Structure 1
Amino acid sequence: MPLTNIFETSCTEEDITTQQGTSKSMVAALASLSQPGVWTVDDVDLLSKFNNFKHQQPQPRLSMALDGIADVSSGSGFFLTLSQKERMLASAVAAKDIDKKWPALLSILSRVCVASNSYEDVVQALRKEDPNGPIVDYLRDITYHYSHYLKFSDQVPRNINEREGFGDLTWCFIRGALTLANIPSRCFEIPVVGAKERKNHGRDLSVETEVHASMVDGVALFGDHQIYLAEASLIYEPKLDKQVKDKFKLVRCMRDSCNSQIRSIAREAMPPTGMSVFGSTSFGDETKFYAMDFVGTYRLRQIGRMLIPLNKLHFATRMEMCVSL
Structure 2
Amino acid sequence: MGLECIQFCGSPGGEVVQKTFVHPELAVDEVAVKVTHSGLCGTDLHYVTTDMVLGHEAIGVVHSVGSDVSSVKVGDRVGWGYPNWTCGKCEWCLRGEDNYCPNWKIYGMADLEQGSLSSLSVRKEQWLFKIPESMSSEDAAPLMCGGSTVWTPLVNHVKPYHRVGIVGIGGLGHLAIQFAAKMGVEVVVFSATESKRDEALRLGAKEFYTTKDVDDYSTLGVIKQIDRLMICTSSKLNLASFYPLLNPQAMIFPLTASDGELTVPYFATIRNGLSISGTVIATRFMQKKALEFAARNGVHVIAEKFPMTLDGVRAAMGRLKEGKMRYRAVLSWE
State the TM-score bracket (shorter-chain normalisation).
under 0.3
How high is the TM-score relative to the length of structure 2? 0.24
Bigger helix share: 1
How high is the TM-score relative to the length of structure 1? 0.24
Bigger strand share: 2
